[in-house]
Amino acid sequence: MGKKKRTSSRQGPDAASFKKSKTDKTPVKRKGSKETKFTTPTKTEKTSVVASTQKKDLEQYSKEAKESKEQFKPGNEERKGREAKLMIAEKTKRIPLDVTNSMWPFVSEVTLSEDGDTVHLVRNEVNHNTISPSLSNEITNNFLGNPIGANRGDKLHDPTMGTDMKCILTYNEKGINNKGPGKNVEQLRYCSSSLTKVGYGTLRPPIDESYSPDWGDEVLKKEKDKNLSFEKYCVLNSCTDEGLESIAVYNNISDEWEEKKKTFNGEVSMAFKRFEMLKLYAKHRNKRKYHLDPMEGGHRKAGIFQANFCAQLNPEDGSISDCLTFTPDHFLIAGLKPGKDITANHITGAYAAAIDEGTNDKGFFLETTRVDVSYLSDRDVSVPTFLQACRVCSESIAREKRNSATKDVFVECAKCVEEFIGTMSKEALLGNPSLKKFEYGGENKFPKKISAQKDVPKGNFDWKTDRDKICRKLENLPILSSDLFERYAKDPFNKENYSDFLKELEVPRMKKNNKEDDKVLIKPPFVVTYKSMAVHAGLGEKQRATTEMLNKWCLLPRFIHLLLANKKNISLVDAAKDDKVGMTVIYAMRHHVTSHGTLNLSYDACAPWYGLNKGYNMAEGENNVIIAALYLTEIVNAALTTITNNDGVHIGKKKLFNSRTKQLAKQTSDVTMLFSTMNVYANNPGIDTMINQLAWLYMADAELAHDLKNLTKVKLDKVHPGQLVYVHWINCVNESRSMIKQYGLLPEIKSTEDLKMMFPPMYHIYNYLECGVEKDVCLSVAEHFYSKVTSTSKRTLPKQSFYKEKSSLLIHLKLMHAYALRTLKGANPKVAFLRAGIYIGCKAKPKFFRDSLRYRVGDGSENERTLDKFNLFRLATNDVYLTPTATAAHLFETKCAENDKSRESREKYQEIVDMWKSANKGRAYVTMSVRQDKPAKKARTGNGGDDADCGDDEETKALTKTKFRQPMSELGKALDKCYKEHAKNNQHDMLADVLTKYNAIQKMVGFGKLFTGTAIEHQEYDDDAVSEDENSGEGEERNDNIDHADSDSGSEEDSASGSDAENAGEEENASDDSEEDDLSDSDRDEGGSDGNADGTPAGDDNNIGTENKDARNATQTSEPVHDSNSHGESAKDKDDNDVDKAEKEDALTALNKYIDGLKEGEVKRTVMTAEDIELALNLTTRPNLKCKDDRACFCSLKSDDMKLIKELYGGDASEEVQEEIVKKTWISPLVELMRALKWDSSINGLPASSTFKEEKDMLLWNGGVVSEKFMSPME
């Protein structure tokens, strides 16, 4: 009522109403206006408006649209794209050109190696791509007519070069000898998957008075000295003798060709002649100037080059050393399965037939391709700027084609690394950053990982809607709560997000006196120097971030986006819109960047707040991409720790800069080459497999670093535990980086006999993974050798499901080395196993707590040093220890192109292994010592016919204290009887020496009777006490670590955790920190420094382990006195033992009856699953709860008053709690019955990494029986 009737949308609104609607709702910012507010239509509003069709209105709309366009400012990416296309259009001239397929090698830029045998294909970087060997091999197979007989399916294409080739004509008189950089030169690259730069080249003739903007037309059309023009040169037939002669004439190498032909005999093939011509063409680089570099069609050029010589380009340096070298295996990486019975001869035959056709002026090699050729005509445009424009245009063409060519995701990762490291400033290269800007408000430590559900802040939160609440609940660095952080996490390839994020990380440089230099600001990438981690991170009163963290913040989002985009088969643009991808990055950045090693393998209990499913082990499952991406960032950081390796003690600033610049270039090249060839050397197994292998290798390195920490750490060591772990961790990653580059992520074995001899257990794993045989043996090996890893890895490695998919032998090599280190630890504590010398620990807390790693290079305090470079802590090979690098060189096939230096290095490692073999009489490094429930096949070590001990008749098992129970009991009885006989004749002194030695053993193991000066006392310890003592070494070492961290947690020096919560969280995954009981220094010295060849410690004392504490404090031994009432195991002793056993059984029965008699709801027995019990107690063997004996070892309770029960049972009940307990009269009798049981409880007996954290539950277990039945024996 009273409202104006609205115009029908079919007729269109009148001009006035349209203008009003447009003014209110359109997002166009008009000229002169301050700000336009955007309104979001409601669900009931119509979001489309029909414009007026009146001529007057349309003219008005057109005028306003023009004004709006004038005000429009394109985004950064769009602007760059437009400027690049405009430059190519305005600064170049274009000419169509025909090129025969046989001439592509002879219009390319190539160089010859110094030895004259290897031809390298190089290119000016006018294409945004690097070459994917799989794609170029697929193209080569297509060009040669599918000689491998593969069923190509959707990969079937006509064998042509296509019609869309776009090339740049380059003038490059001196090639790689040009001096640069400068406005007229740019670095050349190998035509390969590598990003390595090889020299400098240019694109146009020298700029002088004779320079002509039409130089390209003159080159193409004009004949020089009555010789061919470049246009006619490109259509020669190189498959004929006449064609080769013409190539020699055009390139001024006729004399050289004539000399070469004299070496030919009548049987020389045309294939051989063409390759010899290519080498001459490459050698006399100074006699030619013009080449074609593809801006579009780079893979086709690589494919046609390979087809011309039937040889694959080396994926690292784009080289071939001979022709006719293709085999069917080369095409497997392209996903092409050769037909049955296809051999290399079939490929060679197809190639020879194609060359014969070309010789007869027909066939594929004589066909021509029409190429769109451009050349740089403008004399003022700088060559680097022009090449950048070419790359932008090339990428634009790829987008237009919807990325029809499959890109290698790891090549894209390599590009990210090169872009990132390439921006390092001189100041950042020479100095360290002051990261005071990134102090954590919690002062000493970064937020500890929340592993238990009960520790999660109460509330049902979601990052998308409750970000501020989450940031308040989980206090972290402020930058990880900002809008900029979230934008970068969700779209890291947006240039503005990337540059803004780097700008936010910009900080002052640190001076030599550890003060800030506000005049010089530096931003990532940062060199990860030891000083930046050990000293600068600990300045001030609060915990600071470290250089390695900031580097990871920059790279991790990009790596995760690339991997997930490839995994989901979506573009990076779509990945940026995918909420799941963004949440994955945000969770990883907030909860995993500040940690490393084993700490990163477990989920944070807050993961569901980010929409992630929580699992047991981050290295497996749907979120393992986080661990895989983290491992890639750790590889980059590992490379950046080596920048200072060549620094001298007293070196000038200029020399230091030159030294570090050279090292930075080398490390950048190494990392980009490793990434870009990773897929190739693994034979393109697929993105899922690659992610799995990287995540599992992260887990293996974490376990090895964890064991190295245990191996190095000494008693009363005040070393910063986080720094000690990080140094070992980064060296393990560095070692893996070297091995992946050399042998690939999925290495191949040189000789199974070598593997069988050095690592018999890994040989059985290899047999199952590669050949599908010996499954039972493989699983037995895994159960035994991988049962002492940290609790998170234990959920993965020993399980049968882990071996359903092929896993890299690098993973098992690292884990086997970790096992060897644990085994050798007790017998060889003072062997110099570090490159720098012997680790001696930190006796007194230093000024900077993290700067506490000390070693000795000789005898005397004057030879003690403090660590200042990471690489000094690398494991060294000697007569006792072997490094993974040395054994990998001995076992694995080399996949990368070797130079003299790498060949010498490999030969050196082989010599080291041979020396170790000689010193250890050719025995295995890790022997089979497997406890098996089922008989397994015997395995031969290959060492003189000796049997490996996998299921052998004389099975070698680990020596444990419990194995002394029966022998000591029998020996005690015999000595007692013997003593009685001698005492009758007053000759008991004759046994004094024997009894003294017997007492020494009794003190160590706790079994048998202790002979004292007055009597033979009954000192047989019950199961509980002995089992606790068996594990005391592990518990003591773990508690040592906790005490050190906690005792200094409030100090300044402790404010520098290398990664998140090493101080606070080290114990979370340290349930298996020590496989042997701690020995006193005298015990260790007596053990000697030589181990048995099978990896077990030499000397009985080391095998026995720690002395029992009660026995250690017993009365000093003296001459025993006969007492007939206390000798032997009399009937009374047996009765006492039976009564004790009955009392325990009665206590359990009484406890159960009491609980059953209580009111419902006060307390009740619960039934925990076998799996829950296994995880709660870190058992290595799961109990069978269907078995009465197993079930009788455990008791689980639940009560709403469990807090009161626990406090009373633990003996620390407060007055308030006591008052509450008095009111609840049933609690005290219950606790008394529980104490009478004398079992361990979940109050204080759970392992540090246990998953049993329920507040209302309580678990009790028979400690002695559980340790004996369900825990692996002491090593």
pTM above 0.85, yes or no: no
Residue 308, C-beta contacts closer than 8 angstroms, at least 6 positions apart: 101, 102, 104, 105, 238, 274, 365
Report the range out of 623-627, 1069-1073, 1127-1131 with the highest average pLDDT. Answer: 623-627
The model's confidence at residue 1259, banded by pLDDT at 50, 70 and 90, is confident
Confidence of residue 826 (pLDDT cuts 50, 70, 90): low
Residue spans of alpha helices (H) in 605-720: 624-640, 653-681, 687-712
Mean pLDDT calculated for residue range 311-337: 85
- Pick from 414, 422, 299: nearest CA to 676: 414
Q: Is the pLDDT of residue 792 over 80?
A: yes
**Tokens representing 955?**
């099975």
The pLDDT mean for the chain works out to 76
User: Would you say residue 100 has pLDDT above 80?
Assistant: yes
| Residue whose pair of structure tokens reads 């899922």 in the numeric block | 688
Average pLDDT over residues 972-976: 81
Residue given tokens 């900002």 in the structure block = 482
Determine the pLDDT at residue 770.
Answer: 86
Question: Which amino acid is present at 396?
Answer: S
Give the CA-trace dihedral at 608, 610, 616, 617, to 10 degrees: 180
The closest of 1181, 1239, 1180, 1243 to 1211, measured between CA atoms, is 1243
Q: Which of 656, 584, 658, 573 is nearest to 625 (CA)?
A: 584
CA dihedral angle for residue 271, residue 274, residue 279, residue 283, rounded to 10 degrees: 180
| 24-38, 95-109, 836-850: segment of lowest average pLDDT | 24-38
Nearest C-alpha neighbor of 36 from the set 28, 44, 47, 45: 28
- For the segment 376-394, the average pLDDT, to the nearest whole number, is 89
| CB count in 10 Å sphere of residue 1039 | 15
Reading the block at residue 944, the tokens are: 């003189």
Q: What is the pLDDT of residues 276-305, one digit of tens each?
A: 999 999 999 888 889 999 988 888 999 999
1026 has a pLDDT exceeding 50: no
pLDDT, residue 702, reads 95
User: What pLDDT is attached to residue 1210?
Assistant: 75
Instruction: Please enumerate in sequence order all residues whose Cβ is within 8 A of that of 955, keeping only pairs 6 or more positions apart, or say none.
Output: 929, 930, 931, 949
Q: Which helix (H) or strand (E) holds 368?
A: strand 368-376
Rounded Cα distance between 1110 and 343, Å, is 73
Q: What is the pLDDT of residue 1057?
A: 37
Q: Among positive and negative, which fits the CA dihedral 534, 535, 537, 539?
A: positive
Residues in Cβ contact with 559 at an 8 Å cutoff, skipping those fewer than 6 apart: 413, 416, 629, 632, 633
Q: How confident is residue 79, by pLDDT bands cut at 50, 70 and 90?
A: confident
Per-residue confidence band for 763, with pLDDT thresholds at 50, 70 and 90: very high
Phi/psi of residue 363, nearest 5 degrees: 90, -175
| DSSP E strands, 434-572 | 507-510, 516-522
Residue 1176: band (very low, low, confident or very high) from pLDDT cuts 50, 70, 90: confident
pLDDT at 439: 83
986 CB burial (10 A radius; 0-12, 13-18, 19+): exposed
Residue 572 makes CB contacts below 8 A (sequence gap 6+) with: 493, 561, 562, 565
pLDDT of 189 > 70? The answer is yes
Of residues 1249 and 1097, more confidently modeled:
1249
Q: What is the pLDDT of residues 510-566, one digit of tens each?
A: 888 888 888 899 999 999 998 888 888 878 777 788 999 999 999 999 999 999 999
The pLDDT of residue 161 is 86
pLDDT in tens, 903-952: 888 888 888 888 888 888 878 888 875 444 443 333 333 333 333 333 33
Q: Cis omega before residue 525 (within 30°)?
A: yes
Q: Mean pLDDT, to the nearest integer, of 486-509?
A: 93
How much is the average pLDDT of 192-221? 86
Which pLDDT score, from 0 to 100, does residue 152 have?
A: 63
Pairing between strand 368-376 and 166-171?
Answer: parallel
What's the CA gap between 321 and 306, in Å, rounded?
Answer: 12
48 pLDDT exceeds 50?
no
d(CA 866, CA 855) in angstroms, rounded, equals 6
What's the average model confidence in pLDDT over 496-508? 93
For Cα atoms 1090, 1093, 1096, give the angle at the middle one, nearest 5 degrees.
Answer: 75
Q: What was the pLDDT predicted at 1075?
A: 33
Range picked from 78-82, 686-690, 801-805, 1181-1185 for highest mean pLDDT: 686-690
Least confident of 132-146, 256-270, 596-610, 942-956: 942-956
pLDDT above 80: residue 247: yes
Q: How far apart are the first and last CA of the chain?
A: 93
Q: Which residues of 313-324 are buried (b: 16+ CB within 10 A; e: fewer)?
A: bbbbbbbbeebb
Contact between 169 and 356 (Cβ < 8 Å):
no
The Cα 156–Cα 1134 span in angstroms is: 85
pLDDT at 734 over 90: yes
Choose among 1018, 1105, 1028, 1106: nearest CA to 1264.
Answer: 1028
pLDDT at residue number 1027 = 34
Q: Are 144 and 307 in contact (CB under 8 A)?
A: yes
Helices (H), 744-851: 752-758, 760-766, 775-785, 791-794, 809-825
pLDDT at 892: 93
What pLDDT does residue 352 have? 94
Residues 6+ apart with CB under 8 A from 796: 616, 617, 619, 620, 699, 802
More confident residue, 1157 or 1044: 1157
Q: Give the pLDDT band of residue 831 (cuts 50, 70, 90).
A: low
695 or 973, greater pLDDT: 695
Please state, in angstroms and rounded to a whole number, the distance separating the CA atoms of residues 383 and 593. Answer: 40
Structure tokens given for 1156: 């059953």
> What percent of the chain has a predicted confidence (pLDDT) above 70?
76
Q: What is the mean pLDDT of residues 441-446?
A: 51
Q: Which of 22-31, 373-382, 631-640, 1069-1078 has the highest mean pLDDT?
A: 631-640
Average pLDDT over residues 230-255: 94
Could you read off the pLDDT of 394-406 as tens digits, one per residue?
877 765 554 333 4
pLDDT higher at 746 or 1099: 746
User: Concatenated DSSP letters for 661-682?
Assistant: HHHHHHHHHHHHHHHHHHHHHT
Is 1139 a residue whose pLDDT tops 50?
Answer: no
Q: Is the Cα dihedral 715, 717, 720, 723 positive or negative?
A: negative
Q: Of residues 892 and 877, which shows the higher confidence score?
A: 892
Mean pLDDT value of segment 5-27: 39
In three-state secondary structure terms, 685 is coil
Is pLDDT of 452 > 70? no
pLDDT of residue 959: 58
Contacts of 669 (CB under 8 A, 6+ apart): 195, 196, 197
Question: What pLDDT, on a 0 to 100 scale, did the predictor assign at position 801?
Answer: 85
Question: 115 Cβ partners below 8 Å, 6+ apart?
Answer: none
For residue 805, the model assigns a pLDDT of 85
Confidence of residue 1234 (pLDDT cuts 50, 70, 90): confident
Is the per-residue pLDDT at 1218 higher than 90?
no
pLDDT of residue 107: 95
1233 or 333: which leads in pLDDT: 1233
Tell me what pLDDT residue 832 has: 58
Which of 34-48, 767-781, 822-836 holds the top average pLDDT?
Answer: 767-781
In this prediction, residues 1192-1205 reach a mean pLDDT of 85
Q: Given pLDDT bands bounded at 50, 70 and 90, which one contains residue 76?
A: low
Cβ atoms within 10 A of the Cβ of 799, count? 15
